[in-house]
Amino acid sequence: MKSLKKQRRIQVIIVAAIALALSTALIGYAMRDGINFFRSPSQVVAEPPTASEVFRIGGLVEEGTLVRGQSETVTFSVTDGGASVPVAYTGVLPDLFEEGQGMVGTGKYVNGTFVATEILAKHDETYMPKEVVDALKEQGVYQDPNETDS
């Protein structure tokens, strides 16, 4: 009788382990398209990603590069102070999007140009995404607006 209980307990543990492994695999498979890694322009230039990889890029919109064409396509360059990456975006830009301001874009790097599917701009005069701040600090370009010189 004890042997039967022990055997059932082992079977339940094995079924639970298989169910846990299967659910973990399904969750990982479902999330594969939803995970976008952040890269700075310097990282993109140093190690260009494949044309099929979707990722996020962020930095400052380089002065003098914003070109609004006749169509909905807008081109500009994003920089972190160390490197610049040309960006092409088709769509309506956020209201606060302008040269010299922080931005984060999601898209693919195709033939030397970042083709963005989404552009986010900072929402007020002090906000900048953490990834962008970190990338700018690495290049020695970023200065915290909250710091005051004494």
Residue 66 phi, psi dihedral angles, 5° rounding: -75, 115
Q: What pLDDT is recorded for position 10? A: 93
Q: What is the pLDDT along the chain (150 residues), one digit of tens a residue?
A: 678 888 999 999 999 999 999 999 998 888 776 666 888 898 889 988 888 888 899 888 888 888 887 778 899 999 988 889 999 999 888 887 888 888 899 999 999 999 999 998 865 555 566 777 777 777 776 666 555 554
pTM score, whole prediction: 0.63
- CATH entry, 37-139, from 2.40.50.140, 2.60.40.1510, 3.40.50.10490, 1.10.630.10: 2.40.50.140
Name the residue among 58, 54, 52, 61 with its Cα closest to residue 39: 58
Instruction: Give the C-alpha separation, 112 to 133, whole Å.
Output: 24
Q: Could you tell me how far CA 60 lies from the centroid of its own chain?
A: 14
One-letter amino acid of 22: L
Q: Is 109 exposed, middle or buried (0-12, 13-18, 19+ CB in 10 A)?
A: buried
How many C-beta atoms surround the C-beta of residue 65 within 10 A?
A: 15
Q: What pLDDT is recorded for position 141? A: 66
Instruction: Give the C-alpha separation, 41 to 47, whole Å.
Output: 10
Domain extent listing, the chain? 1-35, 37-139
Q: What pLDDT is recorded for position 93? A: 84
